[in-house]
Chain A
Amino acid sequence: MASPDITSIEVLRSQLAKAIQLEHATIPPYLTALYSIRPGANTDATQILRVIVVEEMLHLTISANLLNAIGGKPDLTVKGFVPSYPATLPDGETDFTVGVGPLSPETLKAFLKIERPAMAPAGKSRHVVRKSDDHSTHLCTLPEDATLRYYSIGEFYAAIRDAIVYLDQQAKAKGETIFTGDPKRQVTSEYYYSGGGKLWPIVDPASAAKAIDLVIQQGEGKTQAIFGDSGEIAHYYRFLQLDKNRYYQQGDSPENPTGPALTTDWSAVWPIATNLKLAALPAGSELYDAAVAFNSAYRQFLALLTRAYNGEPQVLLDAVPRMFEFRNLIQQLICNPLPGGNGNAAPTYEI
């Protein structure tokens, strides 16, 4: 195995904390795009986005299980955990940004990039050097040196997978293991809202590898296959259906889905501002207060998740009604016109 980037358990923990941040970082863009759809319109896009959001929550939980398994402590309330949008993600030699905005052909393009990361060509380094010349949040950076990024999200996860194997082998040589976490901190299927059988306790390299594979498979597909082992369609292809205006079914080639047709009416979307910040709202207005109220509801939700990931898995069941509560708050913001005719408001996710 190539020499891993992650050479100590502490670094592995910090990289897993970044994985949690990364999995979460996709939720605000997806959620906002989902709720930007006008009521009754675009039922196909709605279903597709909804499922993906639910699975991103699952991935978030899996990353927390991974961190817990090696004795770490997930914390979704640390400053900077929620990126300042637009956030920057690596895509091979170049970066791309993902923001909070309405569903549109452009947002769909960014979503496709998130879900189908390019892997470094054989023989090429999985790192790229890039100067941080802006203030946006950069995800998928290397340990210690934030100017170094992984080539892609895929490489970021591959490095974690390699490190788990590598570090556990080293530990085994000393008669130890890196899986020192309390198994009671693992969140299992019965606490998770939807999706039976997809959360298992992570206790050894095998269960950890299986978990990482699930995250990767649900995202980009299993070695480019449209459907994963459980017959489930990968996020990348779910999104691609919106581009191809047709559903995939078993046996299809990526170029040519043959399932039922679908259509997206890109105009049946509320004209919400992209990457809106509180500063753009008149201070003291009802609208400002509503945006602040949303952010504080979201902060409470992250605090609940943190508890769920720190030994109180049953709290996840109570967190679920919260998620529905802010669906209502987001929809409310999205229907409100911004002063001055600049489209509609949106959640700002300034946590």
Chain B
Amino acid sequence: MSPFVKNPNRPDLAALQSDSDYDAIVVGSGISGAIIANELAQAGKRVLIVEAAPETDRTYEGYTEYLNHFYGQSAKDNQSPFPINPNAATPRGSELRKLDPLETNSSSYIVQSGPYVSDTVYTRVFGGTSIHWEAKTPRMLPQDFKTQTVFGQGRDWPIGYEDIETDYETAEREMGVSADVEDQKYLDLKFRDSYVFPMRGLPPSWLDEQVAQGIDNSQVELYGERYALKVRPFPQARNGIPNPAYDGGKGFEPTSAVASHQIDIGGRCQGNTNCVPICPVQAKYHSGKTLAKAFETGRVDLLSQAVASKVIIDDASGRVTGIETKVYHHVSSPAYKTVTLRARLYVIAANAIETPRLLLASGLRSKSGLVGRNLMDHAYLLNWALMPQICGTTRGTSCTSGIVDLRGGSFRRSQAAFAVDIHNDGWGWATGSPSTDLVELVDDGNKFGRDLRNAIIDRVSRQLLLAFMIEVMPSESNRVTVDPTYKDPLDNMRPVVSFAVPEYSMRGAAYARQFAKTLFARLGAEDHTHYDPSNYGFIAYQGDPYEIRGGNHLAGTHIMGSDPSTSVVDADQRSWDHDNLYLVGAGSMPTIGTANVSLTMAAIAYRSARKIIATLNH
């Protein structure tokens, strides 16, 4: 199915301002906002989406423009397809630098107040970060929902795996997840008896096979327990071969690219190896696919280039009465008009940095004082080596398989769990390969002609990059704040982030390094890992060097719980303080375990949508 996109724009600001007939205003067009808007629209509700970015990529042409922009950049950092927009800026890794003790760097959009500088990003375009994401979609483990009870670490969720299992299934349908259930039954992960994923698992890469041959069925020992290792495919939200057994034998029809006319592309992943930062054919899920359905109902309007700047509260009732929004005319000019938008109910789905930023800028800290606190993100530790044999690196989706056996276990009492990605795209993330390899071979190695061609094969096709995604537990001192000193061109306060990688995670990182060395030894791979003290992510831990990279899995800044004094939202993501306000997104997650956050985030969005519809129907 190739969704056609209706034009949902409402450029008539005056009319919009006096339109008080919306059931809900949704701030943000990412996965979270799209799911809420679509669910509400399908239930007959009228919705206005307020999106800070221009809506250019709503059409296929706009999307394709990103691709050309990407090809044309000499340094392909991971935001390179997305043009600079100062009015709704997007953090960029290239803006970062290491901080001196107690220093604050405000030259980047996110003001970094340290001590650790994270290169984590999100993307403010139509469709949010889903245009950019990699689309790995593992579920959290049942044990992840109660880490405090089981391991004495982090916080328990107010709900358990069983409570959101069917929402996981709904999210897997919406995002079009490819995986085989047999591969995903490990540790305490369980699935409904007859469950199959919408599409068959993507085939593992040749590189995965080479790693598997070296380590499958070998074991490691940790705190006296033994863990068997196995290379397993990851579930992914990208189109594969539909599983005829899906939905009790009804099968599944993948959603292909979104366009304003028929193009029929993206029905199946073609192995472009460019899932991040942009899939050229839209085989990868992005929220535009969900939004196309929402717009199709005719009940969802879009106001783009509109930055929500203040949530207005009625002091007596605590209810939200409107959202003050700055609508700019052009990305190259800071000129804007301010409008106040009203609806019966408000949903902020602007992501785990921008949602608390908006609340704090509106003076809303919540009674718990926890808005912006407990910021989480996975800590990534990269390890890279050359395999003894040619592995065909640089082919396939960014990552097809990994090692997930240490996502759970009793060791979590003492140190963080991790999942390991085997990167099909080689050392790029760590070293800038292959262009850095090329420059080195030509400029320093004095290679050209046949020598160069041979050397390139030898250097690139054997690359193995293991990315360890290490769990980070919530900590109140890791936080987003705002400060009137730091504003953007629209006079909105920018987010200020203070973050330190917790000791618990660093113990996990130290073990991750050791584990990587063990694997490299088993594979006969040449370890090329080195951590540079001048890098902004550098951390010395117990005398050893590490470089911790941001995980782009931002979460935890409006944490959910069962007690208003220790949480910001309830289990339905409704604000404890403002009963017609929902904060929807990974910010509500009390812990993130070792699962990329978005599938769980989508599952809880479905839960909230049910609650919102019930409330509106009441």
A196 to B200, CA, bound (A): 13
Known contacts A40-B68, A196-B253, A197-B253; A190/B264 CB under 8 A: no
| Bound: A232/B267 CA distance, A | 14
11 A-B residue contacts at CB 8 Å? A189-B242, A190-B200, A190-B242, A194-B267, A195-B267, A196-B254, A247-B262, A249-B261, A259-B260, A259-B261, A260-B59
Q: Within the assembled complex, what's the spacing in Å between the Cα atoms of A232 and B264? A: 9
User: B residues within 8 A CB of A54?
Assistant: 264
Cβ-based interface call for B64 (8 A): yes
A193 within 8 A of B: yes
Asked whether B265 is an interface residue with its Cβ less than 8 Å from the other chain, the reply is: yes
A195–B252 CA distance with the chains assembled, in angstroms: 12
A232-B241 Cα distance, complex, nearest whole Å: 21
Residues of B within 8 A of A196 (CB): 242, 251-254, 267
A153 close to chain B: CB less than 8 A? no
CB distance B64 to A194 under 8 Å? Answer: no
Asked if B75 is an interface residue, CB under 8 A from chain A, the answer is no
Specify which chain B residues have a CB less than 8 angstroms from the CB of A189 in the assembled complex: 242
Distance of A194 Cα from B265 Cα, bound (Å): 8
Cα of A47 to Cα of B262 in the assembled complex, Å: 9
Residues of A near B262 (CB, < 8 A) are 51, 232-233, 238, 247
Chain B residue with Cβ nearest A55? B264
The residues of A that contact B254 with a CB separation of less than 8 Å are 196
Interface residues of A (CB under 8 A from B): 40, 43, 47, 50-51, 54, 189-190, 193-197, 232-233, 238, 247-249, 259-260, 324
Q: Which of B254-296 contact A (CB under 8 A)?
A: 254, 260-265, 267-268, 270
Our pick among A51, A197, A248, A259 for the contact of B264 (Cβ within 8 Å) is A51
Q: Does B244 contact A (CB under 8 A)?
A: yes
Within the assembled complex, what's the spacing in Å between the Cα atoms of A194 and B242?
A: 11
Determine the residue in chain A with the shortest Cβ distance to B243: A190
Whether A247 pairs with B261 at a CB distance below 8 angstroms is: yes
CA distance A196 to B254 in the complex (A): 8
A43 touches B268 (CB 8 A): no
Complex-state Cα separation, A47 to B244, whole angstroms: 29
Known: A40-B68, A189-B242. Is A194-B264 also a contact (CB below 8 A)? yes
Q: Given the known A-B contacts A43-B64, A196-B253, are A190 and B241 also in contact in the complex, defined by CB atoms under 8 Å?
A: yes
Q: Are A193 and B242 in contact (CB under 8 A)?
A: no
- Residues of A near B241 (CB, < 8 A) are 190
Q: List residues of chain B with CB within 8 A of the CB of A232.
A: 262, 264
Q: Are A190 and B267 in contact (CB-based, < 8 A)?
A: no
Q: Is the CB of A51 within 8 A of B263?
A: yes
Nearest chain B CB to A236's CB is how many angstroms away? 14
With the chains together, A221 CA to B46 CA distance in Å?
37
Contacts of B61 in A (CB 8 A): 43
Given A259-B260, A260-B260 in contact, is the A50-B265 Cβ separation under 8 Å? yes
Chain A residue at minimum C-beta to C-beta distance from B270: A324
Q: Which residues of A contact B59 (CB under 8 A)?
A: 260
**Given known contacts A47-B265, A51-B263, A195-B267, what 11 new A-B pairs fall within 8 Å (CB)?**
A43-B64, A47-B263, A50-B265, A190-B241, A196-B242, A196-B254, A196-B267, A197-B253, A233-B262, A247-B261, A260-B261
Q: How far is the CB of A133 from chain B (nearest CB, A)?
A: 41
Chain B residue numbers with a CB within 8 Å of A233 are 262
Chain A residues with CB below 8 A from B261, complex form: 247-249, 259-260
Closest Cβ–Cβ distance, residue B62 to chain A (whole Å): 12
* Bound Cα distance A196, B1 (Å): 9
Size bin of chain B's contact surface: 20 to 34
Name B454-489 residues within 8 Å CB distance of A.
none
For the complex formed, measure the closest distance between the CB of B249 and the CB atoms of chain A, giving whole angstroms.
14
A233 vs B68: C-alpha distance when bound (angstroms)? 27
A194 to B59 Cα, complex, angstroms: 22
Q: Which residues of B contact A193 (CB under 8 A)?
A: 268
Residue numbers in B under 8 Å from A40 (CB-CB): 68
A237 to B, closest residue via Cβ: B262
Cα separation A233 to B260 with both chains bound (whole Å): 13
Q: How far is the CB of B66 from chain A (nearest CB, A)?
A: 13
CB of B238 to closest CB in A, whole Å: 14
Give the chain B neighbours of A43 by CB distance below 8 A: 61, 64
* Closest residue of B by beta carbon distance from A40: B68
A54→B266 CA distance, assembly (Å): 12
| Residue of A40, A196, A233, A248 most packed against chain B (CB within 10 A) | A196
CA distance A197 to B241 in the complex (A): 11
Contacts of B253 in A (CB 8 A): 196-197
How far is B61's CA from A244's CA once the two chains are assembled, in angstroms?
19
Which A residue sits closest to B254, measured CB to CB? A196
Task: Give the Cβ gap from A268 to chain B, nearest Cβ, in Å.
Answer: 15
Distance in Å: Cβ of A255 to nearest Cβ of chain B: 18
Most chain-B Cβ atoms within 10 A of its Cβ — which of A43, A47, A54?
A: A47
Closest CB in chain B relative to A227 CB, distance in Å: 9
Please, how many angstroms separate the alpha-carbon atoms of A233 and B244 in the complex?
A: 26
* A197–B254 CA distance with the chains assembled, in angstroms: 10
Closest to B59 in A: A260
Across-interface contacts of B270 in A (CB, < 8 A): 324
Task: Find B268's partner among A47, A194, A247 (CB 8 Å cutoff).
Answer: A194
CB-nearest residue of chain A relative to B261? A247
| Closest residue of B by beta carbon distance from A232 | B262
CA gap between A190 and B254 in the complex, in Å: 12
Contacts of A238 in B (CB 8 A): 262
A232 to B262, CA, bound (A): 8
In whole angstroms, what is the CA distance A189 to B263 when docked? 19
**What 9 pairs across the A-B complex have the smallest Cβ distances?**
A247-B261, A194-B267, A51-B264, A47-B263, A233-B262, A259-B261, A196-B253, A190-B241, A196-B242
Q: Mask for B573-598, Cβ within 8 A of A = 1, else 0?
A: 00000000000000000000000000
Distance, CA A344 to CA B170, complexed state (A): 53
Contact with A along B41-80 (1 / 0, CB 8 A): 0000000000000000001010010001000000000000
A289 to chain B, nearest CB (A): 19
Docked complex Cα distance between A43 and B264 (Å): 14
| Chain B residue contacts of A195, Cβ below 8 A | 264, 267
* B244 cross-chain contacts in A, Cβ below 8 A: 190
The CA of A195 and the CA of B256, in the complex, are separated in Å by: 10
Interface string of B203-243 (1 = CB under 8 A from A): 00000000000000000000000000000000000000110
A residues in contact with B68, CB < 8 Å: 40
Closest A residue to B60 by CB, please name it: A47
Nearest chain B residue, comparing its CB with the CB of A39: B71
Closest beta carbon of chain B to A7's beta carbon, Å: 38
* Least distance between A199 CB and chain B CB atoms (Å): 12
What B residues does A47 contact at CB under 8 A? 263, 265
Q: How far is the CA of A196 from the CA of B267 in the complex (A)?
A: 8
Nearest-neighbor residue (CB-CB) of A320 within chain B: B270
Query: Please, which residues of chain B bring their CB within 8 A of the CB of A51?
Result: 262-265
Closest Cβ–Cβ distance, residue A327 to chain B (whole Å): 11
Closest residue to B242 on the A side, CB-wise? Answer: A196
The docked-state distance in angstroms from the alpha carbon of A260 to that of B59 is: 11
Task: Determine the residue in chain A with the shortest Cβ distance to B263.
Answer: A47
Q: How far is the CB of A43 from chain B (nearest CB, A)?
A: 6
Least CB separation from B260: chain A residue: A260
CB distance from B67 to the nearest CB of A (A): 10
Instruction: Give every chain A residue within 8 A of B252 (Cβ-Cβ).
Output: 196
List, in ascending order, chain B residues with CB within 8 A of A324's CB: 270
Smallest Cβ distance from A225 to chain B, in angstroms?
A: 14
| Nearest CB of B to A168, in Å | 28
Cβ–Cβ < 8 Å partners of A197 in chain B? 251, 253
What's the least CB distance linking A76 to chain B, in Å? 23
Q: How far is the CA of A47 from the CA of B59 in the complex (A)?
A: 14
A54 to B268, CA, bound (A): 12
Name which residue of chain B comes closest to A238, CB basis.
B262
What's the minimum C-beta distance from A30 to chain B, rounded to whole angstroms?
Answer: 15
Per-position binary interface string of chain B over residues 419-436, scored 1 when its CB falls under 8 Å from any chain A CB and 0 otherwise: 000000000000000000
- The answer for the CA separation of A54 and B267 in the assembled complex, in Å, is 12
Closest Cβ–Cβ distance, residue A317 to chain B (whole Å): 9
Docked pose: A259 CA to B262 CA in angstroms: 10
Instruction: Report the minimum CB–CB distance from B61 to chain A (whole Å).
Output: 8
CB distance from A36 to the nearest CB of B (A): 20
